[in-house]
Amino acid sequence: MQTEQGEHEPSSLLWGLDPVLSSFAKLYVKDILRMRESSQIPDVYFYKCHPLFKVDVLGTVVYKREREDFFCYGVDDGTGVINCLCWKDEKWRENTDAVNSGATLQVSNKGGFNPVEQLKKLKLAQKLSAQLEIGDLLRVRGSVKTSREQREIMACSYYKVNDPVMEVQISWMMEVLHLYRDFYDKPFLFTKSVQHLDTAEGDDLLRSLSVLRRASRLLMSFIREKGLGSFRPKDVQHLLMPLLSCAPSCSTTQQESTVAQSSSKQVHHLFRDVIKALQDEGLVFRKVISQDEVYQVTEQDKELRRVTKDIVREDSGREKYAEKGCHVLHILSCVRQTYSRNVSKSVIEMVLRCLERDSEIFSTIDQNHYKYISVTD
């Protein structure tokens, strides 16, 4: 795969200084295909000196493949074509019923406001905006991934754009040109940005980045030592207290109360940052999204491991997967159907690595296809 000849890659501790990292970068497809991947953190890419992992693309659908849980759209913006993996909504089948009864909805409302029919019409419009055909204009936002040596976009949101007079496309082209000229093509000097801070601000920035890494290691060490299969925030937040800066001594009860409240907020914010980092790495996840905030530990989740192994074992015997094995996205789709829809790709990759480490499955032509190890082999 082609890559840009990149400048020296800055330390990941400084990436957060670049605003491009936290935004959906509106890049040309040709540049997304040519970006170099970071040598420090997977699934982070560099356009010139700007780190990014999320993009925003507008283009024409030139091919379409539909699976049970997702669509694959080929999006052409005039500079290149990229594959976009667009997951179907959980209520897709409900919306399918709305599409089938769409004609009835248009004639059944004889007057007045009927909230049930209006809701069905809204679901119909939602489905139609997410189901595209070749030639339709698609806008998609998502993270950039490399699968089978090909760049693709894992969509977090996408919809059909109605643009009969090309107003949206012209506006988009003008905005992207502005972004390239004023931001993407201009180097962002990480070192100079730190130097522009005064000594105290620079020290605070580097300290906070260091604390996040230490907190992540501390939390995972505690979880592994105790053999926890799941935990709640209240079970582990106390571990992070020693990592926070010590508060100045207070002479009054009111001051002590204020400091205690401030420390509690700091611990809460640090825990949120740590959990997000661990979720991105696939080390923890939430099986059920509810008010009872429970996090599962991927390595300790025996049920998830069993479900994943059963899927690989059963589908490895099918003719379709007999030669190459089951692709990680196929396994992910099956796990989401049978175990939890909140499981991410990084979680499944972690489980597959554990199964391969224990010689229960093995990867075939690359790290994206897996087959079951039969005892008769």
pLDDT digits (tens, 9 = 90+) for 38-78: 888 888 999 988 999 999 999 999 999 988 778 899 999 99
114-142 mean pLDDT: 83
pLDDT digits (tens, 9 = 90+) for 256-282: 455 455 677 888 888 888 898 888 888
> 44 and 149 share a domain?
yes
For residue 251, the model assigns a pLDDT of 43
Residue 146 CB partners (closer than 8 Å, separation 6+): 1, 37, 43, 152
For residue 241, the model assigns a pLDDT of 83
0.85 exceeded by pTM: no
pLDDT, mean over the chain: 80
Give the lowest-confidence range in 221-225, 308-312, 364-368: 364-368
* 3 within some domain: no
* 313 within some domain: yes
For residue 76, the model assigns a pLDDT of 96
For residue 6, the model assigns a pLDDT of 41
Total number of domains constituting the chain: 3
* 5 within some domain: no
> 172 and 221 share a domain?
no
**Residue 208 pLDDT greater than 50, yes or no:** yes
Percent of the chain with pLDDT over 70: 79
> 346 and 242 share a domain?
no
> 123 and 166 share a domain?
yes
pLDDT digits (tens, 9 = 90+) for 221-267: 899 888 999 999 988 888 888 877 544 444 444 444 554 556 778 88
Domain boundary among 191, 217, 243: 191
- The model's confidence at residue 4, banded by pLDDT at 50, 70 and 90, is very low
* 290 within some domain: no
**Residue 340 pLDDT greater than 80, yes or no:** yes
* 285 within some domain: no
For residue 362, the model assigns a pLDDT of 85
Domain extent at residue 210 = 197-273
Domain boundary among 176, 191, 206: 191
> 148 and 103 share a domain?
yes
> 151 and 210 share a domain?
no
How far apart are alpha carbons 18 and 10 in whole angstroms? Answer: 11
> 136 and 159 share a domain?
yes
For residue 248, the model assigns a pLDDT of 42
For residue 10, the model assigns a pLDDT of 77
